[in-house]
Structure 1
Amino acid sequence: MAGKLEGLTADSRLVSLDALRGFTVLAMIIVNVPGSWSHVYSPLLHSHWHGATPTDLVFPFFLFIVGVSIALAFERQLDQGKSKKELVKKVLVRALKIFTLGIFLWMFPKFDLGNIRIPGVLQRISIVFLACSLLYIYGDWKAQVKWAVGLLVGYWAIMTFVPVPIDDVIQQALSTGETLRSGGMVTVDGIRKVGEGLIAANYEPGTNMESWLDRRLVPGRLWEKTWDPEGFLSTFPAIGTGIAGMLTGRLLLSKLDSDKKVIWLFVAGFSAFVAGNVFDWFFPINKHIWTSSYVLYAAGLAAMSLAFFVWLVDVQGKVSWTKLGVIFGSNAVVAYVLHGVILKLLALANIPLRSGFFDGLVAVGVPEKLSSLIWALFYSLVICFIPVYFLYKKKVFIKL
């Protein structure tokens, strides 16, 4: 097994990547379905603003894996002689399916067009997949590096130096020192006027350039009332996360021997992690606005995690523990969609399974936060596991 990675080609399948994808989707589900949002362990919540918790790493890990998968999949198809025009057609269709599915998941089951939210997790995945796929098909690794650097530096420059026009939200923040988000009013510090109708560039909630553009350009409902974490401008650095994954995929497909691949993957990941922490001094790590430092920080941790998985699974041959991840990873998007649909169906049928489970545990003396976590584990490892395990056993792999 020690030499397995040396012979990796575009036709090979990395069990380590499948497992990491599955465990990432499983983590997505767990953090999305606590028994009670009032009782959650802090690592299972997103950071309030600047900084990052383990939960803040889940989404960028998935986008990073999307990038790795693009490199492996498209290299195989290009080797098979498929035309770029044919590949682009498939990319467009798949991206549209994923985006539409994201809209469906938001609207189901009421389909209230007056409350529609256009951005979302699946929608961002579809855009990143589309952009990265086109860049992989038509560009080499040098072009991908240039695009990644351009996106991250450009986003930093816009957020740091471009004054923000004053609208009603910013005017309220200037008057009261607060702005609205989904949890209520939050304090905004240090914003100041720099001219007629403008405030200085800033990274504060609701008053930064990303938030202002969301209010101007994004139709429908915004998740945070005055901006959206999957909004317009922050999608550009998110593409950088996908590019980091594509470059990782190119490394895995290189002619280096197994040990060198793992070492270089870990070194590259650690370097990105350090760079992200240094960049944090100038552009704070922040998932809500997907800062450039956050891209480097999260991509670095994702690369090091993949390096460990590759070494343990594909080099050392330790595969028995990966089965749960592989099952979820084999139908990752299906698992994510099911976790939302099942909850909504239970609510539609007026079946209080979630609250009953949580309240029952609390009634017998289980601490509230632990009860909330136990429900999340039960829901993901039992209720969501059953359908994806059935698909896996039947060898049904739904590719959107």
Structure 2
Amino acid sequence: MTETLNPTKRLISLDALRGFTIAAMVIVNDPGSWSSVYDPLLHANWNGVTPTDLIFPFFLFMVGVSITLAYEKRKQQGASKPDMYKKILSRAVKIMLLGWFLWLWPDFSFEGMRYAGVLPRISLVFLACAVLFLNTNWKQQFWIGGGILLLYWMLFEWIPVPVDDVIQSALDTGTVQRSGGGIVELGEIERLSEGTIAANYQPGINIAAWFDRKVLPGRFWEVTWDPEGLLSTLPAIVTGIIGMLIGRLVLKVQNEWEKLTWIFFAGFAMYLLAEAWSWSMPLNKNLWTSSYTLWTAGMATMGLAACMLVVDLLGYTKWTGLGRVYGANAITSYVLAGMLTIIFYSDAVLGFAPNRAFMDGMTSIGMSAKLASFLYAIIYMLIIYIPALILYRKKIFIKV
């Protein structure tokens, strides 16, 4: 057992947790059939949190932790700020372009292009947090993060929403459109004037959805709003900031048991504060509400503390193999999973769709459709694991 964790020592627990998070992303993104999925493997329909709603914030939290560990090391090695800025910007641009590439793959038609998305949000969070880390201390980061969450809450509580075509249609019909040709029934809409409605948390007619429709080009995931929209990226950046602050605890607290105590305490405190805040501002991934930011960051912090205890402190590492392999090339594995859907989820390459064949075969022998769908998702995750393992064994780590 070591007494301290210095900036040159990798956290096996962090690598493993990052990898397990990517593996979970692949599982929830790639079921055998979207019509047959267990509820915990779906995002909450609107308010509330499912296990699936933890995955993305867990990853952004670990982006923040990694920034502290990596850039503190580079600062100690005497790296210049211009050089670090160049590498930060290059990485952010590459991640953004990969996100757009995945949307265009394999047809590369820009019609109906979606500019928002998981990788574009990771890009923006990484860029903002890395720049903040190089130019602020931990106290400033704390107040910046807290200020963003408070201002975001105030926007939803107090700022009237201007009426646009979507909101006017919602006033007339009581509904908004969503993906797949569906509609969402709305609650009461309070009209303040001819041109505004009251601040609200409803789908498609809230301030974030209105803002994104004004400034964000391209297609939205849910037609009238996007869960990875621009305004809701602000609190997502705070998820990364919290990760940076926890990363500072990892580096600066010398006694290992004291370190774990403080990390777990911080996570539990965020969880309790989020529960109280959710009485006013609901837990909502689509909006990445302030309460959701703290709730998921608290869970991620406690999860990291648990992994550090079991893996780094007690030395139980054998079970982390899959996570460490995925974590070593996390973005690469995610992109590969997106690209290979052309083989495993369509008939374009093999002449038949393997997912449909698997579902038909399993259900024909009496397996429930949801279980078959879940098993296919696990199989697909293990398929992606094979090239990730080859890269890992050859010590090839693709730095996006």
TM-score, structure 1 normalization: 0.98
Partners of 2:390 and 2:356 in 1: CA distance: 27
Shift of 1:191: 1.4
Unaligned runs of 5+ in 1: none
- Identify the match of residue 261 of structure 1 among 259, 262, 285: 259
What is the rounded CA distance, in whole Å, between the counterparts of 2:308 and 2:160 in structure 1? 45
**Cα shift at 1:147:** 0.9
- Residue 335 of structure 1 pairs with residue 333 of structure 2: yes
* Displacement after TM superposition at 1:150 (Å): 1.1
Give the Cα–Cα distance (whole angstroms) in 2 for the partners of residues 191 and 355 of structure 1: 42
Q: Give the aligned partner of residue 228 of structure 2.
A: 230
Residues of 1 paired with 2:253 and 2:211: CA distance?
44
Amino acid at match of 1:399: K
- 1:143-158 to structure 2, matched below 5 A, reads 143-158=140-155
Map of 1:216 onto structure 2: 214
The one-letter amino acid of 1:397's match is F
Contact 1:135 1:144 in 2 (8 A): yes
The answer to whether the Cα contact below 8 Å between 1:105 and 1:340 also exists between their aligned partners in 2 is: yes
Question: How far did 1:159 drift?
Answer: 1.5
**Structure 2 residue 364 is the aligned partner of structure 1 residue 363:** yes
Checking the alignment, whether the CA contact within 8 Å between 1:327 and 1:389 is kept in structure 2 is: yes
- How far has the Cα of 1:84 moved from its partner? 1.2
Q: Distance in 2 between matches of 1:85 and 1:153?
A: 32
**How far 1:292 moved relative to its partner?**
0.4
Q: Which residue of 1 aligns with 2:244?
A: 246
Displacement of 1:370 in angstroms is 0.3
Report the 3-state secondary structure (helix = DSSP H, G, I; strand = E; otherwise coil) of the residue aligned with 1:253: helix
Range with bigger deviation, 177-186 or 12-21: 177-186
Partner in structure 2 of residue 32 of structure 1: 29
How does 1:302-381 map onto structure 2 within 5 Å? 302-346=300-344, 347=346, 348-349=348-349, 350-381=351-382
Instruction: Indicate yes or no: 2:204 matched with 1:203.
Output: no
SS state of the match for residue 111, structure 2?
helix
User: How far apart are the structure 1 equivalents of 2:253 and 2:287?
Assistant: 38
Map of 1:278 onto structure 2: 276
Q: Mark the runs of 5 or more structure 2 residues left unpaired by the alignment.
A: none
Quote the Cα distance in structure 1 between the aligned partners of 2:249 and 2:283.
26
Distance in 2 of aligned mates of 1:110 and 1:171: 35
Q: Runs ≥4 in structure 1, deviation > 4 angstroms?
A: none
Q: Counterpart of 1:144 in structure 2: which amino acid? A: Q
Distance 1:24 1:191 in 2: 38
Alignment deviations for residues 109-130 of structure 1 (CA, whole Å, 9 cap, x no partner): 1111112100010000000000
Q: Aligned-pair distance for 1:190?
A: 2.1
How many angstroms does 1:293 deviate by? 0.3
Distance in 1, Cα, partners of 2:89 & 2:157: 33
Task: Give the partner amino acid of 1:58.
Answer: I
Secondary structure, aligned partner of 2:192: strand
How far apart, in 1, do the equivalents of 2:359 and 2:273 lie? Answer: 42
Q: How far is 1:344 from its partner?
A: 2.0
Aligned-partner residue type, residue 280 of structure 1: S
**Displacement, 1:319?**
0.7
Matched, 1:168 2:165: yes
Q: Structure 2 counterpart of 1:258, which letter?
A: E
- 2:95 counterpart (95, 98, 101): 98
CA distance in 1, matches of 2:228, 2:253: 37
Question: How far off is 1:255 after superposition?
Answer: 3.4
Q: Is the 8 A contact 2:116 2:228 kept in 1?
A: yes
- The 8 Å contact of residues 169 and 226 in structure 1, kept in 2 or not, is answered as yes
Distance 1:159 1:181 in 2: 21
Separation of aligned partners in 1, 2:360 and 2:91: 41
Aligned partners of 1:174 and 1:192 also within 8 Å: no
Q: Which residue of 2 aligns with 1:57?
A: 54
Equivalent in the alignment of 2:391: 391
- Give the superposition deviation at 1:397: 0.4
Distance between the aligned counterparts of 1:190 and 1:64, measured in 2? 36
Q: Aligned to 1:179, what secondary structure does the other structure show? A: strand
Q: Structure 1 residue 326: deviation in Å?
A: 0.2
The answer (yes or no) to whether the contact 2:343–2:353 under 8 Å persists in 1 is: no
- 1:133 matched to 2:134: no
Q: Separation in 2 of the partners of 1:110 and 1:388? A: 25
Matches of 2:131 and 2:352, distance apart in 1: 45
**Secondary structure in 1 aligned to 2:263?**
helix
Question: How far apart are 1:167 and its partner, in Å?
Answer: 1.0
Structure 1 segment 60-71 matched on structure 2, within 5 A: 60-71=57-68
Secondary structure of the corresponding residue to residue 290 of structure 1: coil
Whether the 8 Å contact between 2:37 and 2:370 is mirrored in structure 1 is yes
Aligned to 1:178: 175
User: SS state of the match for residue 184, structure 2?
Assistant: strand
Distance 1:317 1:276 in 2: 32
- Root-mean-square deviation (CA, aligned residues, Å) is 0.9
Structure 1 window deviating more from structure 2 (167-176 vs 226-235): it is 167-176
Deviation at 1:146, TM superposition (A): 1.1
For residues 6 and 342 of structure 2, the distance between their equivalents in structure 1, rounded to whole angstroms, comes to 42
